[in-house]
Amino acid sequence: MLTQIQTFAQLHFIPSPSPSPSQPPTPLRRRIFLFSAHRRLPLRHHHNMFSISSPALRITDCISSRVNDKIGSVGGEAMGEEKENASKQVRRAYPFHEIEPKWQWYWENNKTFRTPDAIDTSKPKFYVLDMFPYPSGAGLHVGHPLGYTATDILARLKRMQGFNVLHPMGWDAFGLPAEQYAIETGTHPKITTISNINRFRTQLKSLGFSYDWDREISTTEPEYYKWTQWIFLQLLKRGLAYRAEVPVNWCPALGTVLANEEVIDGVSERGGHPVIRKPMRQWMLKITAYADRLLEDLDDLDWPESVKEMQRNWIGRSEGAELEFCVVDTNGLQRDNKITVYTTRPDTIFGATYLVVAPEHVLLSSIVSDAQRKQVEEYKEIASRKSDLERTELQKEKTGVFTGCYARNAANGKDIPIWVADYVLGSYGTGAIMAVPAHDTRDHEFALKYSIPICGVVTPDNGNFSYFEKAYSGEGKMINSSSSVSGLDINGLSSKEAALRVIEWLEKTQNGMKKVNYKLRDWLFARQRYWGEPIPVIFVDDTGEGIPIPEVELPLTLPELDEFTPTVTGEPPLSKALSWVKTVDPVSGKPARRETNTMPQWAGSCWYYLRFMDPKNSKELVGREKETYWSPVDVYVGGAEHAVLHLLYARFWHKVLYDIGVVSTKEPFKCVINQGIILGEVQYMAYRDPDGYLVSADSVDVTIEYGQERIAEENVMKSGDSFVLKDNPNIRLITRAHKMSKSRGNVINPDDVVLEYGADSLRLYEMFMGPFRDSKTWSTSGIEGVHRFLARVWRLIVGSPSPDGKFKDGTVNLDGEPSMEQLQCLHRCIDKVTEEIEGTRFNTGISAMMEFVNAAYKWDKLPKSVIETFVLLLSPYAPHMAEELWSRLGHPTSLAYESFPKVNPAYIKESTVVLPVQINGKTRGTIQVEEACTEEDAFRLASLDSKLSKFLAGKNIKKRIYVPGKILNVILDAQNVKVGQR
């Protein structure tokens, strides 16, 4: 049958029985049809057509070689001939396979979660957003829904609390992966992107997320990237976009520039191809112009402090000085060249014993001696293959080559050698440093390796220091820091005083100046790729002048290309679209060429949060009224891997848009939350020695090479804090869990989980695994536990199944007025669940609901009002079950906009107090009493207390002093008081 597939498969929804417009089908059945070139063919198995009710069977599965396995795994859900399949019915803890498709159908057809275009300004707003996903062909794994479930719980809570909620979803779909897949398979990236988006959307809908799908956007749609191009033109107008020749990470195999984060150990992250550093003329965005604002405005944000600190470090503002060193040759003759260095420690100028220039320094070729030129060129070639991250890694061994030239230190008149070393970056500061090995760890390591002098000039306040053993990088008092040649004397000054004195001297003698520097570099904004936003600039043929295309001509759309491989010349793939590249200057009419570089993937994800506010607006990026109402994003959730660059770039663009009046806030995201990652299941590993015998992990000899083998979980037991073999507890095992990846084979497909346990169980489990921000380890037994909890909720309200496994319609008998105990239990649950959702402590909110259910099973009667309230509490976490229970409780519409329960403080107020009891003014113990306890009752309870009774038994009471809720003081008759012993 699969060999007959010519083009594609389509999924049809076949409701059974036929519903009325207001009544969703129960259950919703899905029928899969495969299309041949001539006619529609139903997918058959044993000649019977399947109508599959599970939401987890995806059309992409049908196209794979696993289709028959997937169909077979459905088991009792397959419904062909009823008699034949009757024996295959699976007994389920509760009928999630019927409930979940039914309510997903209801939400979609009723547009339950659509945010109206017209804004009701009388209601407060809540804008909750997930970081833009990249839709890959692999689809979701169970790590993805962690953040999505959290934002969905928040969105559902806020809707029920009366907020206007904006909870959208879209796709960051341009980029290298789709282009590389196109090159490998010959499939146009647009086709694979649409296919991947469809798969992601289907999976997300199967998990019941309350997204407003009417606002869905993709960065690849011209209607969207029209405005990305428009933003670029605004940057260009303000001098914030420019072209420059800069050193880049160039991957010849991929034919494109790569960001530092896309290069690992000198090879491309995708494909493992060699990457070199070479200068190229590229588009740059002047993010450095906003460095101070990006730094200062962090203080007002409700972000994790760790994220703010990472951004501060990335911006890297520092105060110091720029110094000029004259280049001299081997004969001590001064040359015309001057090398400018930047330092944050101008106080250590007398300790500079050599200079270091970066391999890409512009003066390197002109200052290197003929004797050293070959070594220097070879070193530059090696350095060009390393990324900036590799070169600056603190642990790596420092390498370098002497240039054969020297520089004169104006502070003392000494000539010091100039070296080239890759631990200095051409993109930071001036691309050169004065090396002070006595007071910098990297310089110290380098000096020891190459036998360069070390001169200590700062002594710590607590005594002497051995500068040859290690560097002292702290502050102190200056030594060895005076010269009659320059007239500069800073001996005896503190480091801070000396730094100020040196800067004064530099500016007076014109050897340097005070300088503020940043680690932040301008944003490299060009890629040699096809699958990206075209840059809306043309270049006039005879002058080479770059001219922005008129805004009325936007969007500048991508031309169709059949071949996407990199060119041998390094020209971008777009250069192959000759008819598209050739154009004319709209002003002069002269021949011109379009820019053939495209924007990086970061571009479309910098501003998508704004487009969600007004996605259908064809006249402007976002309407003023909608932006003013919805800005800023209230909660933004995503992985910590985007803590720096994505958030920094988005903040930069937002500030530019603020300056030109497009947005009304200085910052885009009020609160950022980073969820933890989900690791694969724990693996239990045993050591085996060369003779084949198992060895306990605590007895491993580091001099012996052991083999490792995985032990099945059923053969493992816990012993204290360790895990051991069941059959041999003397063999201690090692445990480990890895981040989910296809290469490790530990990826859990959410489709499979939904098929076996249901979407609500997956949602609940991911929230119950542990604190939301922490990393967690997947456990199949853990999801079984929350699945059993949901089954208990179902049986509590619906009742137990009949012998054939079916559940009745409706609910159990729910009547009677709630007792005080029930109200107290319920309101404790309301209080805890509400507080924990708002604090994103979802796991403890679930624990509170579990405690409620445990208590409810002990009640003789279940009041309907109590059960209805609990169902509303459950709904943000397990929306499918909650909707079904709400319907069975007699409500004709969705609970999505029902008022979320509010706690009544009277029911959670403690009715008892701990009362201190004194005997003759000395506290002897405490008793627990009701707040309204009388004096007599308090004294009676004290008399019955085992600790207090020995002081009161048989004694004459002179008087009692009782302050309700505060204290009971019993004064004994003096004759009963022992004052000593005979």
- SS3 assignment for 735-772: EECCECCCCCCCCCCHHHHHHHHCHHHHHHHHHHCCCC
3-state secondary structure of 959: strand
C-alpha distances in Å from residue 446, one per residue of 422, 449, 454, 455, 469: 11, 5, 11, 14, 13
Rounded CA separation 834/133 (Å): 29
Rounded CA separation 415/187 (Å): 62
At 395 the pLDDT is 61
Rounded CA separation 720/842 (Å): 29
Rounded CA separation 525/886 (Å): 52
Q: What angle do CA 447, 448, 454 make, to 5 degrees?
A: 55
Q: Which two tokens stand for residue 792?
A: 């208990």
Give every CB contact of residue 761 below 8 A, 6+ residues apart in sequence.
96, 753, 783, 786, 787, 790
Q: What angle do CA 581, 582, 585 make, to 5 degrees?
A: 115
SS3 assignment for 836-861: HHHCCCHHHHHHHHHHHHHHHCCCCC
Place of tokens 């070689």: 65
Half-sphere exposure of 899 toward its Cβ, with a 13 Å CA cutoff? 3
DSSP 22: T
Q: What angle do CA 746, 751, 756 make, to 5 degrees?
A: 95
Question: Is the C-alpha dihedral spanning 748, 749, 751, 755 positive or negative?
Answer: negative
- H runs (alpha helix) in 28-171: 59-63, 67-73, 82-85, 96-110, 145-160
3-state secondary structure of 401: strand
Q: Which two tokens stand for residue 598?
A: 């495209």
Q: Which two tokens stand for residue 769?
A: 């695994």
Burial of 690 per CB tally in 10 Å (0-12, 13-18, 19+): exposed
User: Is residue 149 a contact partner of residue 673, using CB atoms and an 8 Å limit?
Assistant: no
Q: Give the chain's radius of gyration (CA, Å).
A: 36
Give every CB contact of residue 398 below 8 A, 6+ residues apart in sequence.
421, 423, 442, 445, 446, 449
Rounded CA separation 45/62 (Å): 12
Rounded CA separation 715/101 (Å): 38
- The enclosing H or E element of 217 equals strand 217-218
Give every CB contact of residue 205 below 8 A, 6+ residues apart in sequence.
104, 108, 213
Place of tokens 């571009």: 603
Question: Model-level pTM?
Answer: 0.79
Q: Which two tokens stand for residue 960?
A: 């009692």
DSSP letter string over 235-304? HHHTT-EEEEEEEEEEETTTTEEE-GGGEETTEETTT--B-EEEEEEEEEE-GGGGHHHHHHGGGG-BS-
**457 φ, ψ to 5°?**
-125, -5
- H runs (alpha helix) in 593-712: 602-605, 608-611, 624-630, 645-659
At 741 the pLDDT is 65
- The enclosing H or E element of 477 equals strand 477-478
3-state secondary structure of 246: strand
Burial pattern 533-556, b for ≥16 Cβ within 10 A else e, equals bbbbbbbbeeeeebbbbeeeebbb
User: Is residue 88 a contact partner of residue 78, using CB atoms and an 8 Å limit?
Assistant: yes
User: Is residue 132 a contact partner of residue 171, using CB atoms and an 8 Å limit?
Assistant: yes
C-alpha distances in Å from residue 748, one per residue of 73, 209, 776: 16, 19, 14
Residues of the chain with pLDDT under 70: 1-90, 261, 387-390, 392-395, 568-569, 740-745, 975-982
3-state secondary structure of 276: strand
DSSP letter string over 521-552? --EE--BS-SSSPBP-EEEETTT--EEEPPGG
Give every CB contact of residue 746 below 8 A, 6+ residues apart in sequence.
680, 681, 738, 740
Rounded CA separation 839/836 (Å): 5
Find residue 323's DSSP bridge partners: 341, 512
Q: Which two tokens stand for residue 788?
A: 């059993």
| Cα first-last separation, the chain | 107
**443 φ, ψ to 5°?**
-65, -35
Stated length of the chain: 982
User: Is residue 78 a contact partner of residue 29, using CB atoms and an 8 Å limit?
Assistant: no
3-state secondary structure of 318: strand
Question: Is the C-alpha dihedral spanning 617, 618, 619, 620 positive or negative?
Answer: positive
Parallel/antiparallel/unpaired status of strands 683-688 and 694-695: antiparallel
Question: Is the C-alpha dihedral spanning 140, 144, 148, 153 positive or negative?
Answer: positive
Rounded CA separation 395/805 (Å): 63
- How far does CA 90 lie from the centroid of its chain? 38
Q: What is the number of other CB atoms lying within 10 angstroms of the CB of residue 932?
A: 9
